[in-house]
Amino acid sequence: MYLNELDKALTNEYLKQGYIIRPVANLEALEWIRAQFLRLVTQSLEISSNVNPDDLLNKIHDRVPVGKLNSFRLKIIQGFNAINEFREMYFNVAKPYLETLVGNELAMQVRVNLSIQLPKDDSSLLPVHSDTWSGDSPFEVVVWIPLVDCYKTKAMYILPPEKSDQLNKKFIERAGRNSEELYESIKSEVKFLEVAYGEVLVFDQGLPHGNRVNDESETRWSMNCRFKGVFTPYGDKKIGEFFQPITLRAASKAGMAHRLPKTS
């Protein structure tokens, strides 16, 4: 592979662990994103915007009860996805890591997602799963960006590649009757990730992952969005519907526009 030493190290780390965690590539873009959240949240709750972002987000469970969480979350998602620059800022947070791990001709998920997990709330759980089990392409990666420090059960877990391969070989024996029984069979092997605000996680969504009840005293806020190479195979989520090209190069544009001369 004609990669420099830094790119080789990042590639090897991703393939060995199934993920990489790095400082964000563009701190200004991340701070702009969090400022948009602060504006949307304070407007939604009709409170002063002169609040500490960490205090507001980490303690949002003091203001939003579980019964209103989903409608609140959907309102915030609708708000930031309506901002024209939002997806570009999101991409800039992880751009060099994506260019090394995925390529420089990328397709990006049309809508960025948001997870809000209140302490002790079992209504926002994401059971153990691999996105490829439900038809996603194995050529995708997820860029996961926290808006607060995420650690222990306030974060997500992932099953490392080696353990995932072992699970696949004995899946019928270990899967059980439901996702909870599957988790019980792998819980000693999964790794809970610690990702601080100011860091970005890029992970292989083909590996089993999920979250558990947040037993910490703070609320988790994390965004996630899928990226893939434009010309790599697609699963059930197609280009133009779920994905949109964002970094097509000149030769690709020229090639797609090329037509042979008419000879008859």
Residues 6+ apart with CB under 8 A from 1: 8, 11
Phi-psi category of residue 66: left, alpha or beta, with phi > 0 → left and psi -120 to 50 → alpha? alpha
Amino acid 177: pLDDT: 86
Residue 152 covered by a domain: yes
Residue 263 covered by a domain: no
pLDDT tens per residue, range 49-93? 889 999 999 999 999 999 999 999 999 999 999 999 999 999 999
Residue 258 covered by a domain: no
Residue 255 covered by a domain: no
Residue 67 covered by a domain: yes
Residue 256 covered by a domain: no
Amino acid 10: pLDDT: 97
Print the domain residue range for 163: 7-230+241-248
Residue 102 covered by a domain: yes
Amino acid 175: pLDDT: 86
User: CA-CA distance, 220 to 147, in Å (whole number)?
Assistant: 8
β-strand partners of 157: 192, 210
Q: Are 20 and 97 in contact (CB under 8 A)?
A: yes
Amino acid 176: pLDDT: 84
User: CA-CA distance, 76 to 74, in Å (whole number)?
Assistant: 5
pLDDT tens per residue, range 190-215? 999 999 999 999 999 999 999 999 99
Pairing status of strand 243-245 against strand 106-109? antiparallel
Residue 236 covered by a domain: no
Q: What is the CATH number of the domain that holds 213?
A: 2.60.120.620
Residue ranges, the chain, pLDDT below 70: none
Amino acid at site 129: H
Q: Identify which of 129, 115, 13, 16 has the alpha carbon closest to the alpha carbon of residue 57.
A: 115
DSSP 28-48: HHHHHHHHHHHHHHHHHHT--
Q: Could you tell me the maximum CA-CA distance found in the chain, to the nearest angstrom?
A: 74
Amino acid 196: pLDDT: 98
User: Number of folded domains in the chain?
Assistant: 1
Phi, psi angle pair for 179, to nearest 5°: -65, -30
